[in-house]
Amino acid sequence: MIMPFRARAPRRSRLHALRELYHRFLGENTPDARGRRLLCEWLSPEQRAQFEQHRHFDVVGCDTGKRYRIHYGTAANVHEIDAGGHASMGWCFVPSGFLVPPDVMLAQKIALETNEKAALAIANRFPPAPDGTSVFRRPFRR
């Protein structure tokens, strides 16, 4: 009676391992996970460290030298940062279409670092939240 149970145990654990692998593969292959991988590849080491720790990173505008903080999100997620590190103005501009947050953030980084004035020209301004955080947030799983 015990033997068949024992014989089945390794098969069960193999199945369990396979199921785990399958779920992990699915988790790493979602649009958001793919977007995060792409974003991390294109960030500088400092920006990547900042993003991994705080879910935001800073960029310097190529035309004005101003500092912007790009938060994880798809709208109203860019803040101009003053010398004291506080959000002084919000800028809302996004790539058209329905992109995942990391893709939106990467497009915003490239726009501010390579064509700041054009990006701000189309952006809508908004007052930042009093605590300087982004208004829009989505779950962020590592």
Partner 1 sequence: MATQIVMDQSGDTRHEFDPSNPEALARAERRFRELTGVGFTAAVRTAPGEVTRIRSFDPTAAETLFYPRLVGG
> Residues in the site for partner 1, rule: CB under 8 A?
30-35, 38, 42-48, 75-76, 92-100, 103, 106-107, 109-111, 113-115, 119, 122-124
CB of residue 13 to partner 1, shortest distance in Å: 33
Q: Considering beta carbons, is residue 72 or 93 the nearer one to partner 1?
A: 93
Q: Considering beta carbons, is residue 87 or 119 the nearer one to partner 1?
A: 119
Q: Considering beta carbons, is residue 51 or 81 the nearer one to partner 1?
A: 51
Q: Tell me phi and psi for residue 105, to 5 degrees.
A: -65, -40
Q: Considering beta carbons, is residue 48 or 66 the nearer one to partner 1?
A: 48
CB of residue 87 to partner 1, shortest distance in Å: 16
Question: What sign does the dihedral 82-135-120-47 (CA atoms) show?
Answer: positive
CB of residue 131 to partner 1, shortest distance in Å: 21
Q: Tell me phi and psi for residue 80, to 5 degrees.
A: -80, 135
Q: 81 to each of 64, 71, 85, 96, 128, how far by Cα in Å? A: 13, 12, 5, 25, 10
